[in-house]
């Protein structure tokens, strides 16, 4: 199975000095979030040089380039390889997502007053030590006061909408208690499946392949496996049934349904379901939005 998707990894862009805190989910108060490092410009009568528009709202070249450099630096620091094309696509997708979220927040009547915004800026200045320190940070990252306020306002709106989506995710859902046989080549997986079909005990066979966990995956909600084919095959099972061999990025699996029913999500599963809820919402929103990429 592929690694779990980054949860809103780039939508809330990192403030290099670490000024961040957790927002309360589902509240109408202004959420605390990480500051963006990009440099968007407020709308003007003359369209600014831009890479895209989202329902008429500009994503400027300046903010795109700034975030692209930050993204590349972060990937390099993690020792991850990337192409310029892939980096550009990832950054643009994240910026588009942030705009869609902020627009939806405004449509849902979330209002950030100038007093609220100023209060947030004052708090950031206090955390940095002074208003001058915040001003120096702004200048170092290509902001003037107007563009900084605009960027912060949009980030707050996007975070509010993100948290609203997350808050609507149920904590008890239909799940399957799963055990698996996992091998790293198809020949071994096929041989194991043939033995099980011939009468071998699935659980005993799973323990041979994984003597530490005995193939135990626990309770799994839809989407948790992060592989559509695996997810579809698993949720076609009733208790006691097992799948055919399924190839994923992690290897070759045979899944068995031990139990099935409504069950509380584990913290890890809840995070995955929340991630999927945000990504699903964004996909639906994109499909009905007017998004123009500017060459």
Q: How far apart are CA 142 and CA 10, in angstroms?
A: 19
Write down the pTM of the prediction: 0.74
* Residues recorded for the chain: 295
List alpha helices for 108-218, DSSP H. Answer: 114-128, 131-140, 145-167, 186-197, 202-209
Q: Where are the beta strands (DSSP E) in the chain?
A: 50-54, 57-60, 172-183, 216-221, 246-248, 251-264, 291-293
Give the pLDDT confidence score for residue 17 in this predicted structure: 31
pLDDT tens series, the chain, 295 aa: 544 434 343 333 333 333 333 333 333 333 333 444 444 455 556 778 999 999 999 998 888 887 888 899 889 999 999 999 999 999 999 999 999 999 999 999 999 999 999 999 999 999 999 999 999 988 877 678 888 888 889 999 999 999 999 999 999 999 999 999 999 999 999 999 999 999 999 999 999 999 999 999 999 999 898 899 999 999 999 999 999 999 999 999 999 999 999 999 999 999 999 999 999 999 999 999 999 999 8
What does the pLDDT read at residue 10?
A: 39
Residue for token pair 């029913």? 261
Q: What pLDDT does 72 receive? A: 92
Residue 59 confidence (pLDDT)? 92
Q: What is the pLDDT of residue 46?
A: 77
pLDDT for residue 45: 60
- Predicted confidence at residue 142, as pLDDT, reads 67
In angstroms, rounded to a whole number, what is the distance separating the alpha carbons of residues 251 and 185? 7
Residue 97 CA to residue 133 CA, distance in Å, equals: 30
Structural domains of the chain sorted by starting position, each given as residue range(s) with its CATH number in brackets? 50-168+273-293 (1.10.4030.10), 172-264 (3.10.50.40)
**What is the reported pLDDT for 65?**
85
- In 3D space, the residue among 211, 248, 216, 249 whose CA is nearest the CA of residue 233 turns out to be 248
Helix (H, G, I), strand (E, B) or coil at 49: coil
- CA angle at 12 for the pair 6 and 17, rounded to the nearest 5°: 110
Residues 6+ apart with CB under 8 A from 176: 219, 220, 234, 235, 237, 257, 258, 259, 260
pLDDT value at residue 137:
84
pLDDT of residue 36: 46
Q: What is the rounded CA–CA span in Å between residue 157 and residue 208?
A: 51
Q: How far apart are CA 198 and CA 201, in angstroms?
A: 9
């Amino acid at each position: 199975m592929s690694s779990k998707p980054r949860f809103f990894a780039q939508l809330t862009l990192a403030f290099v000095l670490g000024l961040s805190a957790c927002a309360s989910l589902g509240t109408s108060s202004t959420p605390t979030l990480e500051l963006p490092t990009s440099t968007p410009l407020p709308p003007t009568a003359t369209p600014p040089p831009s890479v895209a528009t989202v329902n008429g709202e500009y994503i400027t070249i300046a903010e795109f380039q700034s975030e692209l450099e930050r993204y590349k630096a972060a990937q390099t620091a993690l020792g991850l390889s990337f192409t310029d094309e892939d980096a550009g696509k990832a950054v643009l997708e994240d910026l588009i997502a942030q705009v869609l979220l902020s627009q939806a927040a405004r449509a849902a009547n979330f209002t950030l007053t100038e007093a609220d915004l100023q209060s947030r800026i004052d708090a950031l200045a206090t955390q940095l030590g002074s208003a001058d320190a915040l001003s120096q940070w702004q200048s170092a990252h290509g902001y003037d006061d107007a563009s900084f306020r605009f960027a912060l306002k949009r980030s707050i709106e996007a975070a509010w909408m993100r948290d609203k989506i997350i808050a609507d995710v149920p904590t008890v859902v239909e799940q399957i208690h799963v055990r698996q046989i996992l091998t790293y080549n198809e020949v071994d997986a096929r041989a194991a499946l043939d033995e099980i079909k011939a009468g071998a005990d699935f659980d005993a066979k799973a323990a041979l392949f994984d003597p530490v966990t005995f193939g135990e995956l626990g309770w799994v909600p839809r989407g948790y496996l992060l592989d559509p084919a695996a997810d579809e095959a698993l949720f076609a099972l009733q208790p006691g049934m097992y799948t055919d061999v399924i190839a994923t990025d992690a290897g070759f699996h045979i899944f068995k349904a031990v139990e099935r029913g409504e069950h509380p999500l584990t913290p890890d599963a809840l995070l995955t379901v929340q991630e999927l809820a945000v990504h699903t919402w964004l996909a639906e929103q994109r499909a009905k939005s007017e998004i123009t990429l500017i060459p």
